Structures are given as structure tokens and as C-alpha cells.
């Protein structure tokens, strides 16, 4: 599976009008037993887009991961576009394995920077009003740490034929929890030994599982309330 996206739709329409788009030819080479109808005859696949704004990511299947051969090259005007480690589309970082680790790490890192900056301004004995700082955590740390959670968070557990399993995306909860707890410790006049549950209770901000499940349920309610002819 090959995915290529444009980050800027206005640039897309502008370049089409000016006629500056060039056709990009995808050339693929099969390695070993790995082959597919899509990558078989590359001479008939052409996509028109701006090469300078066109990162390409290749969905890696198990036979490719075992051999280490991607088997894909994009060539435009003599310039080879190598497959990227990750691409950003609509604020979501997509990687070849679609495990969203890079996405969660990036956004939780941004939220953690905000929380650490708050810790530099406050201490357990002096600083800004806790109520104002808690609102800052709720509006600046939590939303940033959970950006795109509707995409990578399908729930904590899921029923399968083998029983109830815990999804691999649940390991990202620790990153979100670290950003939220760092912000709460900066906002509240507490010490290092204060339990985490006490921080959530005094700050009025729920734990990461409740936040993620709330986002998922709100999205589900929104989708079910749309008209039947809505594209979503």
C-alpha cells in the first residue's frame, strides 16, 4: 500500500491552474516472493502533484520487513523521492507500520514543554493562583497531548476470537499521563510525594483513560447524530 498526501490544498489548486505540476512515475521492483498487482506494472501508474511537497510513505508488509527490501522508488524529472520514515497529514503523523508512536511522542513532547515551563514559574510555596494554572493545564496541556486520539485510540481493550486483548496503543497512555501530571504538579502547591490520584482529584482533571474514552464516545455520538447521507 502506497500513500502520498498533499499538506496544502491551496497550493494544490494553485499549481494545477498554473500548469506547474509534473507527472510522477512510480517505479517498483519486486524482491523475492514479495509482489502485488499494484506494484507489478508501474508504467501505467501516474500521479500529478508537486514533487517538493510530496512525501511518500510505504506500508511495509511482513515479507518486506523480513527481507529489508522496500521495493519502491518514486522518480520525477530525474529526481528520486525516497520513502520517508513518517509523513504528516492533517496534523497526524503516519509511519510505515501505522503504530502512531512518532505522532504520540511528538505531541506529548510539545505538551510536556508547556508543563515544564509552568514548573519554572511556580513552586510549592509561591507562584500564580492554582485555579488559573489548572485551567492552563486543562486548555493547553491536555488538548495538545491528546491531538489525533480519535485516530490512534480505539479503546483500552477489544474482544477477539481469542478473548479480550489489550491493544498496543495503550502503551502511549504513559506519555500522556506524564505530561498531565507534570502540569498538575506545577499548578498545585504539592510536594513530590503527593500521590497521583490526589493530583487528579484536587485539580479536577480526570486520568488519561477517562479523557481518551470521553473523546472516543463523543466522536461516536457525533457520527451517529449525522445525517445518513453525510460522507462520514
Residue 105 shares a structural domain with residue 199: yes
* 6-94-137 Cα angle (round to 5): 105
Q: Are residues 51 and 136 in the same domain?
A: no
Q: What is the pLDDT of residue 14?
A: 36
Do 103 and 215 have their domain in common? yes
- The domain total for the chain is 2
**How confident is the model at residue 128, as a pLDDT?**
82
Does residue 167 belong to any structural domain of this protein?
yes
CA distance 128 to 141: 17
Q: Note whether 110 and 172 are same-domain residues.
A: yes
According to the per-residue pLDDT averaged within each range, which of 33-37, 101-105, 134-138, 150-154 is highest?
Answer: 134-138
Which of 89, 111, 126 finishes a domain?
A: 89
Domain co-membership, 123 together with 18: no
Same domain, 29 and 109: no
Q: Give the percent of the chain with pLDDT over 90.
A: 17
- Across the chain, mean pLDDT equals 71
User: Domain for residue 73, yes or no?
Assistant: yes
Min mean pLDDT across 17-21, 59-63, 127-131, 210-214 is at 17-21
pLDDT at 53: 54
Instruction: Give pLDDT, residue 24.
Output: 41
Domain that holds residue 145: 99-225
pLDDT over 70, % of the chain: 63
Using the 3D structure, point to which of 53, 70, 89 is the last residue of a domain: 89
Rounded distance, CA 188 to CA 122, Å? 9
Average pLDDT over residues 126-147: 89
132 and 73 both lie in a single domain: no
Q: Has residue 208 got a pLDDT over 50?
A: yes
131 and 187 part of one domain: yes
Same domain, 211 and 115: yes
Strand-pairing partners, residue 49, are 22
Task: Give yes or no: residues 145 and 104 share one domain.
Answer: yes
- Among residues 89, 119, 140, the one where a domain terminates is 89
Pair (38, 109) in one structural domain: no
Task: Report residue 71's pLDDT band, with 50, 70 and 90 as the boundaries.
Answer: low
Whether pTM exceeds 0.75: no
Residues 68 and 154 in one domain: no
Amino acid at each position: 500500500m502506497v500513500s502520498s498526501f498533499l499538506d496544502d490544498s491551496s497550493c494544490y489548486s494553485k499549481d494545477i491552474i498554473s500548469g506547474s505540476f509534473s507527472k510522477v512515475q512510480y517505479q517498483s521492483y519486486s524482491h523475492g516472493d514479495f509482489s502485488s498487482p499494484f506494484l507489478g506494472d508501474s508504467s501505467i501508474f501516474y500521479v500529478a502533484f508537486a514533487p517538493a511537497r510530496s512525501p511518500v510513505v510505504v506500508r511495509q508488509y511482513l515479507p518486506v520487513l523480513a527481507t529489508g527490501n522496500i521495493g519502491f522508488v518514486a522518480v520525477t524529472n530525474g529526481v528520486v523521492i525516497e520513502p520517508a520514515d513518517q509523513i504528516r497529514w492533517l496534523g497526524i503523523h503516519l509511519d510505515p507500520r501505522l503504530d502512531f508512536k512518532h505522532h504520540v511522542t511528538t505531541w506529548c513532547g510539545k505538551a510536556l514543554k508547556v508543563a515544564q515551563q509552568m514548573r519554572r514559574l511556580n513552586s510549592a510555596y509561591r507562584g500564580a493562583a492554582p485555579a488559573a494554572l489548572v485551567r492552563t493545564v486543562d486548555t493547553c496541556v491536555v488538548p495538545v497531548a491528546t491531538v489525533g486520539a480519535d485516530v490512534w485510540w480505539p479503546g483500552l481493550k477489544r474482544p477477539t476470537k481469542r478473548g479480550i486483548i489489550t491493544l498496543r496503543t495503550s502503551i502511549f497512555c504513559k506519555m500522556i499521563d506524564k505530561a498531565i501530571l507534570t502540569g498538575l504538579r506545577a499548578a498545585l502547591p504539592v510536594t513530590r510525594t503527593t500521590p497521583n490520584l490526589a493530583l487528579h482529584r484536587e485539580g479536577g482533571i480526570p486520568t488519561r483513560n477517562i479523557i481518551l474514552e470521553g473523546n472516543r464516545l463523543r466522536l461516536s455520538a457525533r457520527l451517529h447524530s449525522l445525517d445518513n447521507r453525510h460522507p462520514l
